[in-house]
Amino acid sequence: MKAYIFPGQGAQFVGMGKDLYDASPVAKALFEEADAVLGFSLSTIMFTGTDEDLRQTNVTQPAIFVHSVIKAKLAADFAPNVVAGHSLGEFSALVAAGALSFADGLRLVQQRANAMQAACEAQPSTMAAVLGLEDSVVEEVCATITEGVVVPANYNCPGQLVISGSVPGVEAACVALKAAGAKRALMLQVGGAFHSPLMEPARTQLAAAIEATTFAAPICPIIQNVNAKAETDIPTIKANLIAQLTAPVRWTQSVLTMGEMGITEFVECGPGNVLQGLVKKTIKEAITSAA
């Protein structure tokens, strides 16, 4: 059985998608549609922009979404038993599975990115990667921090968890986590505290947009970040998408759920191969590939 998986923010690179645009009329049409929906030339930034241009949240998220969806649409034998996406990738997965149109998915991603950017600018915040500790230890340490907000944000694979929150909270947690035995607790170069309570203003904005968007039944279940469960019910999918902005990404648990469902092959659709690596660290015998 096969899962198609879709990456989140951080997988972008300058030049991404240019090969697809040049080789495929389908890809070219989707890039042109994306530029029209967004109201700016995303394709130009993706193909020939600077790293700095591409790092802006309101560019990064649409860029990865568009690239990932095109990869899925160009896959010769796209017949998933299940789909899943890491954070932003959940929107790509829903479009690939037919639950959202390309244009509607892109509009939601643009609104999500703009809302998250605004929340980041409203309050200085950050994230940090923690390596070499059990998830439960990281959770316990975060719960003891009194200097500010800090919560587990991305459960990426066993021994790798990203925390998120206010700058003082994350800094204090890093000190405490190193004392608790973490191999590394490394501050990340990110725009803000994604998947934390500090994203509440963005969650409120995105909720209205998601509720106003028409969803269809997906062609297969989607494993959602919030609960790591297979979902096909549209109201549940919408509620989980809304909750995702302030809740942790349970990717480790999602991969384990797919394994329990009998998934043995994981195909990554999008730039890079980060998710393939996380899958292999979670299920060693998994077969991974790129679309």
Residue numbers annotated as active site:
87, 195
Which of the 8 DSSP states describes residue 149? -
Residue 166: its H or E element: strand 160-166
Residues 152, 135 contacting (CB under 8 angstroms): yes
Q: Cβ of 147: how many Cβ atoms within 10 Å?
A: 16
C-alpha pair distances (Å), 258 with each of 64, 203, 223, 263 = 23, 27, 8, 5
Coil, strand or helix: which one is 39?
coil
Distance of CA 204 to the CA centre of its chain: 19
Residues 131, 159 contacting (CB under 8 angstroms): yes
Which of the 8 DSSP states describes residue 199? G
**The tokens of 142 are what?**
């975060």
**The tokens of 162 are what?**
């990203």
Instruction: In whole angstroms, give the CA distance from residue 67 to residue 64.
Output: 5
Q: What angle do CA 275, 280, 281 make, to 5 degrees?
A: 95
What are the helix (H) ranges across 130-226? 135-144, 167-179, 200-211
Give the chain's largest Cα–Cα span. Answer: 55
Which of the 8 DSSP states describes residue 3? E
β-strand partners of 140: none
